[in-house]
């Protein structure tokens, strides 16, 4: 049971503050799913951004000091420095601030997760900046993404431009389009990243300082290991699945195609070559 203190309207926004009463149940709800549990007990709140009026923002104070914020289309949302849960409609911009924020958007979003370990998901045509911290990003189609510092986990579809940034990042590109993929940009100092390709033809764009001459690619089964002479800190491992391929693209415009080794089916090797 959750108590609602008041409902104050300023412009298009409505602010609801939760009382500390029934602290036990409210804290449990916050832990489980900050949003759904609390919202279900407050009839005045619409958790679906598309059911909000244009640029309308509903904000609820959570027990942890963060906020649950729902914004309609074209809304401009600012989070707190605590852990916020944000649901934003299309064409919205979000600045989640510090804290471990959970941000969901759809298309044409502009999202900045700020510091903290953020979880961000968008559909298409969006710009996403994870900021510092170990962020988890779910990226659909044709977005521009910057993971920022920290060990980020990025899952992407096709047509995206991805800068994973500093830290040891895990990038998965899918979309089930054998001839299409996303572009990952990798610069000196970006650390040890891994790229998993699922039925994808993607591009790894290597920044200044990386050349075909100082780049070494080792292929074993469905795995490629990319390392750089004179640079112990940076490297990329690539796992290929379902006929995937990766094009290395260097700053001088040259390209190298990387594919997994052609291995005979185990059934044939078991019986020897006929
Ligand atoms: Ca925040």
Ligand 1 centroid–CA 126 distance in Å is 20
Cβ-contact 250, 211 below 8 angstroms: yes
| Ligand 1 centroid distance, CA of 196 (Å) | 30
- Whole-number Å distance between alpha carbons of 57 and 54: 9
Distance 70 CA to ligand 1 centre (A): 14
Query: Closest Cα partner for 91 from 109, 72, 68?
Result: 109
Distance 115 CA to ligand 1 centre (A): 8
* Ligand 1 centre distance from Cα of residue 112 (Å): 10
**How many Å lie between the centroid of ligand 1 and the Cα of residue 6?**
23
Cα 218 to chain centroid distance, Å, stands at 28
Query: How far does the centroid of ligand 1 lie from the alpha carbon of residue 164, in Å?
Result: 21
* φ, ψ at 218 (rounded to 5°): -115, 125
Distance in angstroms (rounded) separating the CA atoms of residues 219 and 198 = 17
Residue 75 Cα to ligand 1 midpoint, Å, equals 17
Going from the Cα of 118 to the center of ligand 1, the distance in angstroms, rounded, reads 9
Q: Provide the whole-model pTM.
A: 0.80
Task: Show the tokens assigned to 207.
Answer: 């920044």
Distance 264 CA to ligand 1 centre (A): 51
pLDDT tens for each residue of the chain, 274 residues long: 343 333 333 333 333 333 333 444 555 545 556 566 555 555 556 678 888 888 889 999 999 999 999 999 999 999 999 999 999 999 999 999 999 999 999 999 999 999 999 999 999 999 999 999 999 999 999 999 999 999 999 999 999 999 999 999 999 999 888 899 999 999 999 999 999 999 999 999 999 999 999 999 999 999 999 999 999 999 999 999 999 999 999 999 999 999 987 754 444 444 444 3
Residue 128 Cα to ligand 1 middle (Å): 15
Distance 200 CA to ligand 1 centre (A): 34
């Amino acid at each position: 049971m959750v108590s609602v203190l008041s409902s104050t309207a300023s412009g298009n926004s409505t602010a609801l503050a939760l009382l500390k009463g029934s602290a036990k149940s409210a804290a449990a709800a916050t832990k489980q799913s900050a949003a759904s549990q609390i919202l279900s007990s407050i009839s005045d709140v619409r958790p679906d951004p598309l059911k909000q009026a244009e640029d309308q923002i509903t904000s609820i104070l959570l027990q942890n000091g963060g906020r649950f914020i729902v914004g309609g289309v074209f809304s401009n949302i600012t989070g707190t420095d605590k852990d916020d849960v944000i649901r934003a409609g299309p064409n919205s911009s979000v600045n989640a601030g510090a804290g471990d924020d959970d941000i969901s958007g759809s298309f044409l979003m502009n999202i900045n997760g700020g510091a903290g370990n953020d979880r961000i998901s968008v559909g298409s045509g969006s710009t996403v900046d994870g900021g510092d911290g170990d962020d988890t990003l779910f990226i659909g189609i044709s977005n521009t993404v910057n993971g920022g510092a920290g060990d980020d986990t990025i899952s992407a579809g096709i047509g995206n431009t991805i800068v994973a940034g500093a830290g040891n990042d895990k990038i998965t590109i899918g979309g089930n389009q054998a001839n299409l993929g996303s572009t990952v940009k990798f610069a000196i100092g970006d650390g040890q990243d891994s790229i998993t390709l699922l039925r994808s033809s993607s591009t790894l764009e290597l920044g200044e300082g990386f050349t075909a001459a100082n780049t070494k690619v080792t292929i074993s089964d469905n795995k490629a290991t990319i390392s750089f002479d004179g640079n112990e800190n940076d490297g990329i491992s690539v796992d290929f699945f379902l006929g995937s391929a990766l094009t290395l693209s260097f700053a001088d415009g040259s390209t190298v195609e990387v594919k997994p080794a052609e291995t005979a089916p185990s059934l044939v090797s078991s019986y020897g070559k006929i």
